[in-house]
Amino acid sequence: MAILNALWGGLPLLLPLCVVLLAFLGYCLYIKYLHLKYDHIPGPPRPSFILGHSPIFLDVMKKDELVHDKFREWAETYGPVYKINFLHYVIIGVSCPHATKEILMSSKHPKDKFLYTRLFNLFGQRFLGNGLVTARNHEQWYKQRRIMDPAFSSLYLRGLTGTFNERAEKLMDKLTEQADNGTEANMLSLFNYVALDIIAKVAFGADLDLVKYTSPFPKAIEMCMRGMVHVVRDVTFAYFPKNWPFIDEVRKACRLLRETGAQWINARKAAMHNGEDIPKDILTQIIKSAGQEESMTKEDEELMLDNFVTFFIAGQETTANQMAFCMMELGRHPELLQKVRKEVDEVIGMKREINNEDLGKLNYLSQVLQETLRLYPTAPGTSRDLLEDEVISGIHIPAGATCMFSSYTTGRLETFFKDPLKFDPDRFHPDAPKPYYCYYPFALGPRSCLGKNFAQMEAKVVMAKLLQRFDFTLVPGQTFAIKDTGSLRPMSGVPCTIRHRQN
C-alpha cells in the first residue's frame, strides 16, 4: 500500500517525463525513417545518429577552416549527388550541371526553409525578415522584385557611373596618403569602406564618406554576418552562457542597422511629402514596395527595414570581398597584373573620369574579376527545397530534401575546370567555351542576384582607378586562406604596401 501511495504521489512528475521520453522516441523513429528513405544516396559516414554530420561542421568552424572545402571534398569523393544529415533535415549536395540548371532556373522550388527562415531573426532580433533575399513565398518575393527592378535597369545603372567615380576617388585620396606615408594598407577594410560609401550614396542617397571617418557600420555588418553563421550552423549556440556577450553584440549590431534604416526612410518620406526632387533609387523603391502610407501596416514597415538591411549588407560585403580577393591574386601574379594594367592604360590612360564606354572596353579586367569569383565566390552558394521527387544523375531523390548548390565546389572541381586551383583569367576569354551551369557566383534563374551588374560596374571602376595610379606589393608572410563569415573573405585582410606608379 505504501509503495502504491508513493507511486501515485510521484505520478505528476513521472507523467511529463514519460511524455518527453515518448516524444523523443518518436523523433528518433522519424529520423530512422528518414535515414532509410534517403540512405540509397551516397555520402560521407554520419558521425551522430541525431546530429548527423553537424559535428563535422562544428569541428571545421572550431578550427577556423572552410566548410565549403568539405563540400568540395565530398563532391570529389561521392560524385555529383551526395547526402548529408542534420537532425531531421536531409541536404543533398548537387554539382550536376543539368540538375543545377533545371532546379535553379525554375521557380517551382522555393528557397530552403531551414536556412532562409533562420535569417528572419538573429537571436530573436528581426534581421532580413521577408526581404528580397530571404522571402520564400513566390508572390511575396515577385511583388518586391518587380518594384525593385527599375533601380537596377541598365539605363539607371549607366547614370550611376559618375557616383561610382566620385566615391572611388575618395579611396584614391586615401591610397595617395598611404603611398606618401609608406604605411601598410589593409585593402579589405578600405574596400569595405568604399563599397559601403557607394551603396549608401547610390541606394539610399546618404553621404557617409567612410574612407575618411570611422563608422560603426562595417563592424555592425561583420557582427551580423558572424551571427548568421552561428544561427545557421550551430543550433545549440544560444544555450551556452559563454556565448551570450557575443549574442548581445550581434543583436545590437542588427538593431543599429534597422534603426538607421528607420531614420533614413523617415527622412526620405519627409522629403517626398515636401515635394522635393528625390532620386529613383533603391530607397524610393523600398518605400514604394511597402504600399500606400494610409494603409501601411506594422508588417509593411518592418518589410521596408528588412529590405533596407538586405541591400545594406548584400550591396556591400560581397563586392568588397571580391575586390580584396582580386587584389590578392593580382599581387600573387605579377604577369597578370602587368597585363591588366596595360589594358587599363590603353583604355583610360590618364583620365580621371571613367565612362560607360570605357567600362565596356575593359575586357581583361572583367575576365580577372570573373576568375576571382570562380575561386572565391564571395556568396558561395544557394539552396532549394524539393517539393516533388526528382532524379539527379540517375539517383532518385525523394521530395522533402533540400538541394544545396555551391559555386565554390563546382568552381574548384577538375571535372569542370582544368587545373582548377590555377588563377587563370583566360578561362573567361570571349572565345573560350562558356562554363555550363558550373559557374554561378551570382546564383541563377529568377532568384539570381539583382545587383550583379551594379557590383561589377563598381568593382571595375574602383579596380581600374587603383591600377591606373598605384603599384602595390603584398606584405610578405600573409596567409592566402579564406575566412568563412557566411560570405567568403580573405583571412589576412590583404595587407599591402602602396606606391605611386612610376611607369
Binding site for heme, residues?
A: 449
Q: Does 442 participate in binding ligand HEM (rule CB under 6 A)? A: yes
Which residues does residue 473 pair with via DSSP β-bridges, in sequence order?
497
- Antiparallel, parallel or unpaired: β 402-406 and 89-94: parallel
Q: Does 449 participate in binding ligand HEM (rule CB under 6 A)? A: yes
The stretches of 79-137 forming alpha helices (DSSP H) are 97-104, 113-118
The burial class, CB within 10 Å (0-12 / 13-18 / 19+), for 478 is: middle
Q: How far is the CB of 447 from ligand HEM (least distance, A)?
A: 4
Cell 551526395 belongs to 82
Which residues does residue 484 pair with via DSSP β-bridges, in sequence order?
488
Among 145, 170, 219, 255, binds ligand HEM (CB under 6 A): 145
Q: Which residues are annotated as a binding site?
A: 449
Which region among 54-62, 205-213, 239-247, 437-445 touches ligand HEM (by CB under 6 A)?
Answer: 437-445
Q: Does 441 participate in binding ligand HEM (rule CB under 6 A)? A: yes
Which region among 170-178, 292-300, 313-321, 391-399 touches ligand HEM (by CB under 6 A)?
Answer: 313-321
Residue with smaller CB distance to ligand HEM, 172 or 459: 459
Q: How far is the CB of 449 from ligand HEM (least distance, A)?
A: 3
The stretches of 39-160 forming alpha helices (DSSP H) are 54-62, 67-78, 97-104, 113-118, 138-148, 154-158
Which region among 51-59, 219-227, 409-417, 445-453 touches ligand HEM (by CB under 6 A)?
Answer: 445-453
- Window 454-473: residues binding ligand HEM (CB under 6 A): 454-455
3-state helix, strand, coil in the chain (%, to 5): 55, 10, 30
Query: How many Å apart are CA 151 and CA 231, to the nearest integer?
Result: 31
How many other CB atoms are found less than 10 A from the CB of residue 292? Answer: 8
One-letter amino acid for residue 56 of the chain: I
Q: Does 339 participate in binding ligand HEM (rule CB under 6 A)? A: no
The sign of the torsion formed by the CA atoms of 301, 303, 304, 308 equals positive
Among 435, 451, 486, 490, binds ligand HEM (CB under 6 A): 451
- Window 152-211: residues binding ligand HEM (CB under 6 A): 199
Among 318, 366, 367, 492, binds ligand HEM (CB under 6 A): 318
How many other CB atoms are found less than 10 A from the CB of residue 61? Answer: 16
Q: Does 439 participate in binding ligand HEM (rule CB under 6 A)? A: no
Q: Does 315 participate in binding ligand HEM (rule CB under 6 A)? A: yes
Q: Does 362 participate in binding ligand HEM (rule CB under 6 A)? A: no
Query: How many Å apart are CA 8 and CA 14, to the nearest integer?
Result: 9
Query: How many Å apart are CA 394 and CA 318, to the nearest integer?
Result: 35
Residue ranges binding ligand HEM (CB under 6 A)? 132-133, 145, 199, 310-311, 314-315, 318-319, 322, 373, 378-379, 382, 441-443, 447, 449-451, 454-455
